[in-house]
Amino acid sequence: MDFVTIPPKEIVEKTAVALIEHGIKVVIVEKKEHALEKIKELIPAGASVMNGASQTLEQIGFVEYLKSGRHPWKNLHLPILAEQDPTKQMKLRRQSVFAQYFLGSIQAVTEDGQVLVASATGSQIAPYAYTASNVVWVASTNKIVPVIEDGLRRIHEYSFPLEDGRMKNVGRPGSMLSKILIFGRESARMGRTITMILVNEKLGF
């Protein structure tokens, strides 16, 4: 199965409709620059912001923008990185799952609106599933697959090998495929906002 080709417009629109029916807001943009601009529109001044590790967020320029401080948000990475005590730093990391806005990407989304997320540590799974008031996912439309089984194949055969190789290339032991979240829907009674920005451009793994 081809995991990199941008699907036809009708498949993207079908997936967007399914996501919306499952309680997920959808924005479709053509280029990565448009995705970053949409994020800037979505997050209000003064909001606390955290993100999971994501090649997609790197590629659209969000990670560098957050580091730059040229925004009106509260960057939760700053107190974490400033803390020298490992125990206290881990506590801050765990507290960051309650960010008002938690951003990241996904590994697959099915045409019937189910989202799959793979993780080495699980650090982004809690905010995605429950703790963050607002979740923003940015994903290339090449992550759209027909059904869950194809999404799992995409994780095992495409996403994980690339992430494992990336980690080894930067001098680390590699990655682990420890936890997989299947996000079926978001109930309105949760009072949260989940937004998926779909980009018609190849990004991430």
CA–CA gap between residue 107 and residue 42 (Å, rounded): 22
> Taking the domain 9-199, which CATH number applies?
3.40.50.10420
pLDDT (0 to 100) of residue 171: 79
pLDDT (0 to 100) of residue 169: 82
DSSP-derived secondary structure letter, 120: S
CA–CA gap between residue 92 and residue 81 (Å, rounded): 9
pTM of the model: 0.95
Backbone angles phi, psi at 198, to 5 degrees: -95, 130
Pairing mode, if any, of strands 134-140 and 108-110?
unpaired
Identify whether the C-beta of residue 59 lies closer than 8 Å to the C-beta of residue 205: no
Per-residue pLDDT of the chain (205 residues; tens, 9 = 90+): 789 999 999 999 999 999 999 999 999 999 999 999 999 999 999 999 999 999 999 999 999 999 999 999 999 999 999 999 999 999 999 999 999 999 999 999 999 999 999 999 999 999 999 999 999 999 999 999 999 999 999 999 999 989 988 888 887 887 889 999 999 999 999 999 999 999 999 999 9
pLDDT (0 to 100) of residue 4: 94
pLDDT (0 to 100) of residue 170: 84
pLDDT (0 to 100) of residue 43: 98
pLDDT (0 to 100) of residue 168: 86
**CA-to-CA dists, residue 93 to 45, 50, 107, 122, 164, angstroms:** 22, 10, 23, 12, 23
Please name which of 116, 113, 106 lies closest in space to residue 152, comparing C-alpha atoms: 116
Strand partners, 49: 75, 101
Which residues, other chains included, contact 10 with Cβ-Cβ below 8 Å and sequence gap of 6+?
none
pLDDT (0 to 100) of residue 198: 98
